[in-house]
Amino acid sequence: MKKIIFLFLFILICSGITLAQTGTKKKRPLDFEYGRVVLNNYSEKTGFAPVVFNHWLHRAKFTCRLCHVDIGFAMKAGGTDIKATDNMNGYYCGTCHNGKATSTGSGKVFEACSKKFTADDGRRCERCHSLGKNVKPEYEFAQFTAKLPKERFGNGINWEKAESTGAIKLVDFLEGVSIKRPALAIQKDMSIDAKLEGMPAIIFSHKKHTVWNGCELCHPEIFIGVKKGATKYSMVEIFEGKYCGACHGKVAFPTIDCQRCHTTPVGG
């Protein structure tokens, strides 16, 4: 009897350990899924599938600043509180997706959430309201990115290199939306010492970041201090999506790609 109880307890403990170790491991997104945002503040409530927004396609054409500063998209999913009427009025997605030619040079952009709606428009709606639907995209990730420089992590594309080598040409100004401004005086690169002994220091390039973001996308919402060392943060906070993690790990290359930031050799 004792043996049976012992065996039962042994099996119970072993199965407990096994289950505890498997846990719920987060699935690594596929290349074309990386940076994907699902918008569902109002979609399902109004009978539509949630909107699937692919960052990769938009970041290949526009700077982050254009959408998150000039057009006004929040940095957190769902934070914009976008409604179909906003698009119809020519704001948010409707800024470019207006059925007209735009200053982006990419020709006619399909209209998002038009006021006039016909039975044939169902397919157009599904171009965005596509979660859980088998919608054939206009642009296919592998084909679209075939000639872009490659990287190990994220969605496998080195977007910074793609921009600096001219493989992609980013639009940073929309007539009637953006404000004409003088060119930004680039702040100097700075080094940030790693807290872990033996870990190479970080060289932070303002130049690389301002090409995509300008000033107000990062300051002061993400980085509070302007002086070096004013904002104290750790890798744990970055992994939690704060500071660098506001973009890196969500849309920009992920923080598991250590060498992209920790570039200075120790003692170098």
Partner 1 sequence: MNNNRGSRAIALAAVLVVLSGVPVLFDGGYAAAAAASSQDDWKKEFEDICSMTQDSMSLTPDELRSLVSRCDALRPRIEKLDESQRKVYLKRLQMCRDLLAFVLESKAGK
Residues binding partner 1 (CB under 8 A): 69-72, 74, 80-81, 83, 85-86, 89-92, 179-185, 187, 214-217, 219-221, 224-227, 230
- Give the Å distances, CA to CA, from 223 to 28, 128, 140, 198, 229: 27, 32, 35, 26, 11
3-state secondary structure (DSSP) of residue 252: strand
CB of 181 to partner 1, least distance (A): 5
Distance CA(36)–CA(43), nearest Å, equals: 17
Minimum CB distance to partner 1 smaller for 90 or for 149: 90
Q: Of 137 and 220, which CB lies nearer to partner 1 in the complex structure?
A: 220
CB of 194 to partner 1, least distance (A): 25
CB of 9 to partner 1, least distance (A): 59
Q: Tell me, what DSSP letter sits at residue 62?
A: B
As measured in angstroms, the least distance from the Cβ of 126 to partner 1 is 24
Q: Which is nearer to partner 1, 187 or 264 (CB)?
A: 187
Nearer to partner 1, 86 or 111 (CB): 86
Residue 157 near residue 149 (C-beta atoms within 8 A): yes
Q: What region does 210 belong to: left with phi over 0, alpha with psi -120 to 50, or beta? A: alpha
First to last CA, the chain: 68
Shortest spacing between CB 215 and partner 1, in angstroms = 6
Cα-to-chain-centroid distance, residue 112: 21
Under 8 Å between Cβ of 117 and 107:
no
Q: Are strands 190-192 and 51-54 parallel, antiparallel or unpaired?
A: unpaired
Query: What's the min distance (Å) between Cβ of 46 and partner 1?
Result: 16
H-helix or E-strand spanning residue 262: strand 262-264
Rank residues 92 and 141 by Cβ distance to partner 1 and give the closer one: 92
Of 101 and 224, which has the nearer Cβ to partner 1? 224
